[in-house]
Structure 1
Amino acid sequence: MRNLKVLLVLIGLNASAQEIANVDSLKSIFKNSSNLHLRTNTAIQIGRYFNSVNIDSSKKYLAISHELVNELKDDKTTATYHLNQGNNYKNTGQYIKGVKEYEKAISIFERLKDTLGLANSYNSLGLIYKIQGGDNREVRSFSEKGLYYENQALELHKALKDTIGIISIYSNLGIIYRDMAELKKAESSFLKGLSLANKSRNETYSIGILNANLSQIYLDHYKDYDRAISLLNEAIRIYEKHGIRTSMEHAYRNLSYNYTGKKEYEKAIAYAKKAIEIAEEVDDDHRRINAYSSLYFAQKKAGLFEESLKNYEHVRSLDDSLFSIEKTNIIAEMDAKFESVKKDAQINVLNANAKLSRIQKIGLAIGSILIAIIALGVIINLNLKRKREIELGEKEKAIAAEKLKVAKLETEHKQKELTAKILQLASKNHFLRTIEKETEALRENVDGSVIRASSRISRLLKQDVRDSEQWEQFSAEFSSLNQGFLDRLKSAFGSFSKSEFRLISLLKMNLSSREIADTLNITDDGLKKARYRLRKKLKLSSDEDIQTYILSF
């Protein structure tokens, strides 16, 4: 029965201070229980409570939880630990580590098909991206990621019919849209949450936040100060009902800005001072800066310049102090990305600058890390560029080789076609000469009419053999395949006649003497004489083979 009561306490725990009022009881349970499962979950819940109250205590109990989780080896408990560890990293500005923890939790909850665990993890992941996005337009991508994960969480809460969860998500979506300056969408999200809250008659802490966030739209965008003031008063009523002090600072601060807008400066200054009182009470530097800023603004507009200047200087002092803290967190974040670079930089800083002031050391450390990062980036870019150039060179070589291969195949094909045409011409001429000889023999043994007919046939045969069209076509194709060859010959030995050109071309094609004689329709003796005259023109000695010379020219 005692354990059942403890588990009911654990299940009922939430992030609000009211719902985790019995932390001392939890500590007692953790100290006295021997049940590993109970002790592990209790340690996680204590760490979760301290996460928004005392970061050092939260780290202590999360470290204890880590050891117990490793011993327990329970998936759901492990996922819950990662979720709470991610929240701790989020609150301390270690966003990259936080994202990794949330992703681990999501992976386990997905495997377990734990819809509520997934919804809470997606919601937390959306919030961490929202924090990184803020109202900086240059990091819009973080806000867009926040929207994505918040919408994931919204679908899961809808599947669970979890009204409180849905209202909380609508509030987060509205904040992200507001930071992205998409004010209509922001207003729509806030109104959806409030409408759902009214239907369900829900007055949880998150309803107060919804009212306060919606008031920001009416203050900043519409300048509807009365509407904004009404919403803020409703938020304060809900905060007071639940005993929530921290969020009341935000509400009082915005009441101050609204009354400043209405030029009711006494009320504006009074609410700003209430905001400062709460900020001091909860000991939150961010809230101090914001609260004093509202007081400075109200006093400035009221013409209280001396008091305004004093508070402005105080805000600057707080801001510088907070900046120093946040700068340390930024360095830690950079260390997570460039651990090896950081170690080298720290060694150099410690050895060379042992007597430098703290600010100088931080500046030098940041500079060293940035230089290392830039150097690393340059090296990576050079390697990528070199790799791209190599890949491009290989592609160009492959393309050139393929083009050369295709050109070679085309040349060989054309060469074969030209050779075939020449051999066909040689065969035809050989056939025609045979017919001509038979005709000559016939004329010696027949009468006059037959002789006249045979003479006409001989003239027709000779005319066909001398047909120049075929040679003109051959000349064009030969020149195309052997570009520059004839020009080089002309440059070296002067011009050539048509018959010389034809002989040179046939020798270049490496045809036999018989094939050349048939193609040119001359006798073997005629071919020998033609080769002799050409050899003389080319100034070849008797030892040099004319065909070998032409083939190699």
Structure 2
Amino acid sequence: MKQPTTLPFCKRIAMLLCLVLLSVFPTFAEEVLKPSSPPIDTLIQKAPNTAFLQIKKTLKEAIEKEDFLTAGLCYQQIAALFYFQAAYTQAINYYYKADKLFRQENALPQLAGNLNKIGETYYYARQYRIALEKFQEALKLYQQLGNQKGIADSHGLIGQTYEKTLDYTTAMKYQQLALAGYHKEKNQRGIAKIYENIGSIYEDKPHLDSALKYYTLAMAGNAIEKNLHGQIEIINNIGDVYRKTGRYPEALNYTRKAESMAKSMNDQYQLSSAYRDLSKTFDLMKRYDSAYHYSELGRDIFLKIFTEDNNKQLALLQTLFEIQQKDDAIAQFEQEKSADRILLIATILIIVLLLCLAASVISRQRLKIRNEQQLNEQNQRLFETQNDAIKDALELKSKELTSTTLHTIQSNQFLEELRSSIESLVKDDKRDQKKALQQLIQRINQNINQDQHWKDFSRMFEQIHQTFFDHLKTHCDNLTANDIRLVALIKMNLSSKDMAVLFGISQDSLRVARYRLRKKLNLPQGENLSTFIQTL
């Protein structure tokens, strides 16, 4: 551990008094320890810095007592803290620390639950293959334990993962297994969740009538359980189904209901989702003023959520820094006490042996070496802090890139619709309007896919994925600018519709571009282009 510079004597005495006073207070480890304790769960999501302080204290006490099961649960809570901040790399690191201790203690129920949490973290990080492996490992443990709820949980998570890989048949198989398990356990909340998952599969296929049926069943189940957050999400999904089937009044009715519930519960994420859905529905109804209004409301909430998340992350980083400073001070105090004792013994020996001068030289040399070690360790810590800051900056750039891309898509969609309307007017017999309208169409075409948008996009993308294009060039070094843009958009997991809008081309033309890109990359028959790009 890094050794800070020496403190004045009075400060050392004050620190000693503080430590003595702290030692007389009773521990609250038992309160923090409970994994499902509502206060800690709430703090993890709402006040991560406060939660971290409590969990770290419990973790320290558990390690001192060699209570490794408790320590594992604390690591799991710290992982959850990073998980809710979308810091998936740090979350996985702490989940694996918990995994090691649970295996060491042969705590199979805790190990199985932790494996599902690791899988969920990989799932939201879009690493579906690893997520699937963890879910399946957890399933085997739950089957070994005979834990029916755990088995149903794992089946549902495996089904969700297969849905993301577009393997709908396997996804439906596992969701049906989960549904049977929850029915056997009479777990109404679990049943409602699986109904929602099945509805999502049907919506993707798309079998919208079946999707509506299962969403309705999920809605009823959540109503029985009084699960308001679950109801909002499903109401939004039902609104989506009605919109996709062209039943816009019903879609507006459900989405407005979701909007109202989200406002009453102060659920900013669901409110943002409702505003986006309202914007899409009004857009399809050609009520562009309303579509723009709700699009802006959704964007404002997105920025608000983004700012709040940043503030939470900064508060957490500040807490981590302060705790590190405190640990360094305690370590320094302990070292100085030991050094004082050594100095006293050395002084006595010097007086007895009349070797004061020799001892003084040796002492100074030791102090010089110690200071050099401290300087080296301080430089190492500075390097690590800078490295962490770079990672945080990349995460912020990633969110900025997503926001920029969404804004570009919305702008291009609006211009495409405006161009279609003007082209209809051009086909009219009023010859005196055609020239002016054609000039206007030409101006719109010039504004679609502005080079500056692509320059900004390319700059942010290269900052986030620094080695991506280097790896790409090892497969093919004769890609055009449009090929590289297409690869970047596929890397971001944009839909074909959104990519077509960004390029200002039809989806058929986009399929041709993807086919040509496959040829240039020499991909074998059967290998998925998107999967290949994600692995670069």
TM-score tier, shorter chain, comes to 0.5 to 0.7
Q: 1:108 maps to what in 2?
A: 141
Aligned-pair CA distance for 1:367: 9.6
Is the Cα contact below 8 Å between 1:218 and 1:225 reproduced in 2? yes
- Please say which of residues 289-298 and 320-329 is displaced more in the overlay: 320-329
Q: Does 1:208 align with 2:324?
A: no
Q: Does 1:183 align with 2:215?
A: no
Is the Cα contact below 8 Å between 1:225 and 1:262 reproduced in 2? yes
When residues 14 and 30 of structure 1 are mapped into structure 2, their CA distance, relative to the original with a 3 A threshold, is closer
Paired residue type of 1:42: C
When residues 26 and 80 of structure 1 are mapped into structure 2, their CA distance, relative to the original with a 3 A threshold, is farther
SS in 2 for 1:263: coil
Q: CA offsets, 1:10-34, max 9 Å, x none?
A: 255999x898335445423432221
How far, CA to CA, are the matches of 2:520 and 2:115 in structure 1? 30
SS in 2 for 1:96: helix
When residues 125 and 324 of structure 1 are mapped into structure 2, their CA distance, relative to the original with a 3 A threshold, is farther
Is the Cα contact below 8 Å between 2:44 and 2:80 reproduced in 1? no
Q: Does 1:217 align with 2:333?
A: no
Q: 2:117 maps to what in 1?
A: 84
When residues 330 and 99 of structure 1 are mapped into structure 2, their CA distance, relative to the original with a 3 A threshold, is farther
How far, CA to CA, are the matches of 1:310 and 1:201 in structure 2? 51
Q: CA offsets, 1:50-103, max 9 Å, x none?
A: 335222331332243233334333111111221111112212222111111110
How far, CA to CA, are the matches of 1:80 and 1:32 in structure 2? 23
User: Which of 22, 28, 32 in structure 2 is aligned with 1:6?
Assistant: 32
Q: Does 1:50 align with 2:82?
A: yes
SS in 1 for 2:190: helix
SS in 1 for 2:36: helix
Paired residue type of 1:148: K
When residues 126 and 261 of structure 1 are mapped into structure 2, their CA distance, relative to the original with a 3 A threshold, is same
Q: Does 1:238 align with 2:261?
A: yes
Q: 1:465 maps to what in 2?
A: none
Paired residue type of 2:222: A
Paired residue type of 1:58: A
Aligned-pair CA distance for 1:290: 5.0
Aligned-pair CA distance for 1:187: 0.7
Is the Cα contact below 8 Å between 2:272 and 2:301 reproduced in 1? yes
Q: CA RMSD in A?
A: 4.6
Q: 1:518 maps to what in 2?
A: none
Aligned-pair CA distance for 1:246: 2.9
SS in 1 for 2:69: helix
- Please say which of residues 154-163 and 259-268 is displaced more in the overlay: 154-163
User: Which of 73, 85, 99 in structure 1 is aligned with 2:106?
Assistant: 73
Q: 1:36 maps to what in 2?
A: 68
1:441-480 superposed matches below 5 A = none
How far, CA to CA, are the matches of 2:161 and 2:240 in structure 1? 21
How far, CA to CA, are the matches of 2:460 and 2:179 in structure 1? 34
How far, CA to CA, are the matches of 1:29 and 1:260 in structure 2? 49
SS in 2 for 1:93: coil
Aligned-pair CA distance for 1:225: 1.3
Aligned-pair CA distance for 1:280: 3.7
1:310-459 superposed matches below 5 A = none
How far, CA to CA, are the matches of 2:289 and 2:258 in structure 1? 22
SS in 1 for 2:165: helix
How far, CA to CA, are the matches of 2:216 and 2:241 in structure 1? 11
Tell me the TM-score normalised to structure 1 length: 0.52
How far, CA to CA, are the matches of 2:284 and 2:112 in structure 1? 47
Q: 1:119 maps to what in 2?
A: 152
When residues 189 and 294 of structure 1 are mapped into structure 2, their CA distance, relative to the original with a 3 A threshold, is farther
When residues 264 and 159 of structure 1 are mapped into structure 2, their CA distance, relative to the original with a 3 A threshold, is same
**How many correspondences in the alignment?**
344
Q: 1:163 maps to what in 2?
A: 188
How far, CA to CA, are the matches of 1:143 and 1:214 in structure 2? 20
Paired residue type of 1:56: T
How far, CA to CA, are the matches of 1:187 and 1:160 in structure 2? 25
SS in 2 for 1:10: coil
How far, CA to CA, are the matches of 2:239 and 2:68 in structure 1? 47
Q: 1:272 maps to what in 2?
A: 295
User: Which of 250, 266, 269 in structure 2 is aligned with 1:227?
Assistant: 250
Aligned-pair CA distance for 1:212: 0.7
When residues 236 and 189 of structure 1 are mapped into structure 2, their CA distance, relative to the original with a 3 A threshold, is same
Paired residue type of 1:276: R
How far, CA to CA, are the matches of 2:214 and 2:181 in structure 1? 17
When residues 372 and 266 of structure 1 are mapped into structure 2, their CA distance, relative to the original with a 3 A threshold, is closer
How far, CA to CA, are the matches of 1:29 and 1:55 in structure 2? 21
Is the Cα contact below 8 Å between 1:83 and 1:101 reproduced in 2? yes
SS in 1 for 2:231: helix
SS in 1 for 2:260: helix
Is the Cα contact below 8 Å between 2:29 and 2:57 reproduced in 1? no
When residues 30 and 6 of structure 1 are mapped into structure 2, their CA distance, relative to the original with a 3 A threshold, is closer
Aligned-pair CA distance for 1:224: 1.5
Aligned-pair CA distance for 1:250: 2.6
Q: 1:172 maps to what in 2?
A: 197
Aligned-pair CA distance for 1:119: 2.2
Is the Cα contact below 8 Å between 1:167 and 1:207 reproduced in 2? no
When residues 247 and 145 of structure 1 are mapped into structure 2, their CA distance, relative to the original with a 3 A threshold, is farther
When residues 307 and 126 of structure 1 are mapped into structure 2, their CA distance, relative to the original with a 3 A threshold, is farther
Aligned-pair CA distance for 1:191: 0.9
Aligned-pair CA distance for 1:248: 3.1
Q: CA offsets, 1:393-424, max 9 Å, x none?
A: xxxxxxxxxxxxxxxxxxxxxxxxxxxxxxxx
1:229-308 superposed matches below 5 A = 229-283=252-306, 284=399, 289-290=405-406, 293-294=409-410, 296-298=412-414, 301=417
Runs of at least 5 residues in structure 2 that lack an aligned partner in the other structure: 1-26, 307-398, 422-440, 489-516, 528-536
Tell me the TM-score normalised to structure 2 length: 0.54
How far, CA to CA, are the matches of 2:47 and 2:53 in structure 1? 10
* Identical positions, percent: 15
When residues 298 and 164 of structure 1 are mapped into structure 2, their CA distance, relative to the original with a 3 A threshold, is farther
1:493-508 superposed matches below 5 A = none
Is the Cα contact below 8 Å between 2:44 and 2:81 reproduced in 1? no
Paired residue type of 1:239: A
How far, CA to CA, are the matches of 1:186 and 1:308 in structure 2? 38
Paired residue type of 1:5: E
Q: Does 1:192 align with 2:217?
A: yes
Paired residue type of 2:228: T
How far, CA to CA, are the matches of 1:201 and 1:41 in structure 2? 28
Is the Cα contact below 8 Å between 1:194 and 1:207 reproduced in 2? yes
SS in 1 for 2:178: helix
SS in 2 for 1:73: coil
Is the Cα contact below 8 Å between 1:190 and 1:210 reproduced in 2? yes
When residues 45 and 152 of structure 1 are mapped into structure 2, their CA distance, relative to the original with a 3 A threshold, is farther
Q: CA offsets, 1:215-240, max 9 Å, x none?
A: 1111011x121211121122223333
Aligned-pair CA distance for 1:268: 0.5
Aligned-pair CA distance for 1:188: 0.4
SS in 2 for 1:129: helix
How far, CA to CA, are the matches of 2:247 and 2:454 in structure 1? 30
Q: 2:329 maps to what in 1?
A: none
How far, CA to CA, are the matches of 1:4 and 1:111 in structure 2? 30
SS in 2 for 1:205: helix
How far, CA to CA, are the matches of 2:520 and 2:465 in structure 1? 14
Q: CA offsets, 1:345-375, max 9 Å, x none?
A: 98x959x99xxx9x79x99xx999987978x
How far, CA to CA, are the matches of 1:368 and 1:72 in structure 2? 53
